[in-house]
Amino acid sequence: MKVTTVGAGAFGKAFHLIAQLGGDATLLGRRVEKGVSTDWSGSLAEAELIAMAVPAPATRDVLRQIRSHLRQSAVLLMLAKGIEVKTGDLQSEIAKTVAPALPVMVLTGPSFASEMLAGLPTAVTLASEEATLGEKVQARLAGPAFRPYLTNDVTGAQIGGAMKNVIAIACGAAMGRGLGESARAALMTRGFAEMKRVALARGARIETLSGLSGFGDLSLTCASAKSRNFAFGFALGEGRLAPGATYEGVATAEAVVSLANRMNVEAPVAKIVAALVAGQQDVDGAMADLLARPLRREA
């Protein structure tokens, strides 16, 4: 199975390395650099599996640009983690809208590009509604240090992958403000409960959120300084802004709030993060608001 990865950012390069280990693979980018092809039409026409490694907000536009080059038997594999702000669509739903004839899968879970490039052990979730095709892609991508676990809950896998970035910003802000490990643990736990509420309202299975794409990714992103969203939150907590990187959780916070409001689901952590990143509230005020919420049972 020939794999073409669209997007030569850090994660695109890391995924391309995984794909190369298992067979024929091409990495597509806009700039000429070593190991990156700029032959978009040729590479896409030959690809059997097309891995979309562009930032989540760009997914719809890029798919529109490339869809005429895709073979009818190709499979789309979505790698970005995010919810579209205007529509509330997940990455797979965007793909099905733009290229409805193609099967769509999602790869998500606890994975740092730097560790994948270094060949360190990584386990992820591969979500596919088509079991036989999912097993084929699973076998193609599996390697000595890369282990994809298969699920058919495409929605649940994506909710976990998207919302953990929002919760990571909250955890980073708490740590940057010096509020301590207990505050981080509380935010992770209550954020996880929020994640499950949104996922269930969206039609996902609760057990999916307990796996790699939910709790696994949440644990990694909220507890490591390597996480861009955690580092961004930490900088907010310290009263400075982190330069450079793209912060998926910023746009996703707004999208989660909008989605939760439409479904009448409580999402206090997402609301606080959305206000925080928009400059509408400071960290002290955000934490005070969370602590002032009415007492309730945990379950």
- Please give the positions annotated as active site: 164
Look up residue 268 and give its two tokens: 């206090």
**How far is residue 220's CA from residue 214's CA, in Å, rounded to a whole number?**
10
Amino acid at position 53, single letter? A
Phi, psi of 241 (to 5 degrees): -110, 135
DSSP result, 93-150: HHHHHHSTTS-EEEEESS--HHHHHTT--EEEEEEESSHHHHHHHHHHH-BTTEEEEE
Across the strands, what pairs with 50? Answer: 4, 76
The CA distance from 79 to 30, in Å, is: 18
Q: At 246, is the secondary structure helix, strand, or coil?
A: coil
3 state SS of 27: strand
